[in-house]
Amino acid sequence: MARSKSSKQWLKEHFDDEYVKRSQEDGYRSRASYKLLELQQKDRFIKPGMTVVDLGAAPGGWSQVAAEIVGDRGKIIASDILAMDSIAGVEFLQGDFTEAQVFQSLLEKINTGADLVLSDMAPNMSGMKDIDQPRAMYLAELALDMARSILNPGAYTLIKAFQGEGFESFQSEMKQSFNAVKARKPQASRARSREIYLLGTGFTGDS
């Protein structure tokens, strides 16, 4: 089947991408690893010994980075609807975390609460902003709801959102639950992408 002009362009851009090449050389599962590495270098929110929950984790690029930093004393619980190959130091739970049974399994693995919730979740993009934006912000809301349910006081969350309708209200909502919320756009994020990462620090427990 012939590829469309846009898909050919995407493939060329993908394989020419410096972060794709680096991920292959460094053994990371996705270019997204470099977004987290860059954000970590700036804000130092992942610490040794932390319990970290990685939502929408597949293929595992963020879990790899987090596992390296938290070390043997830490714990990484990754979750995704999609399957994910095992990673040393990472417990993986396949399923929809909004379903009661999956959520309960997550709670059992977390045990004493989480110190950091990560979410790099994004919907399958249709290319139609009026459809994609609400879907993207819905996933961000789900991640925030989960963070509020499982974070320890003073903990952190990093959630991918998308600039556009609903973004400012979501950012304001996050500020109700954290001492500070910082917006970050890592260099590894493609320039044309509307994605932006919101880092909540100092979880207060309010909602």
Sequence-distant (6+) residues with CB within 8 A of 88 are 67
Q: What stretch of H or E contains 135?
A: helix 129-150
Beta strands in the chain (DSSP E): 51-55, 75-80, 90-94, 114-119, 151-162, 178-184, 195-203
Clarify whether 47 is annotated catalytic: no
| Given the residues 35, 160, 175, 185, the one annotated as active site | 160
Question: In this structure, how many other beta carbons lie within 10 angstroms of the beta carbon of residue 19?
Answer: 20
CB 52 within 8 A of CB 116: yes
User: What tokens were used for 158?
Assistant: 């990093």
DSSP 8-state symbol, 1? -
User: What tokens were used for 28?
Assistant: 């990371």
Q: What stretch of H or E contains 100?
A: helix 100-110
Respond yes or no on whether the N-terminal peptide bond of residue 134 is cis (omega within 30° of 0): no
Task: Just list the catalytic residues.
Answer: 160
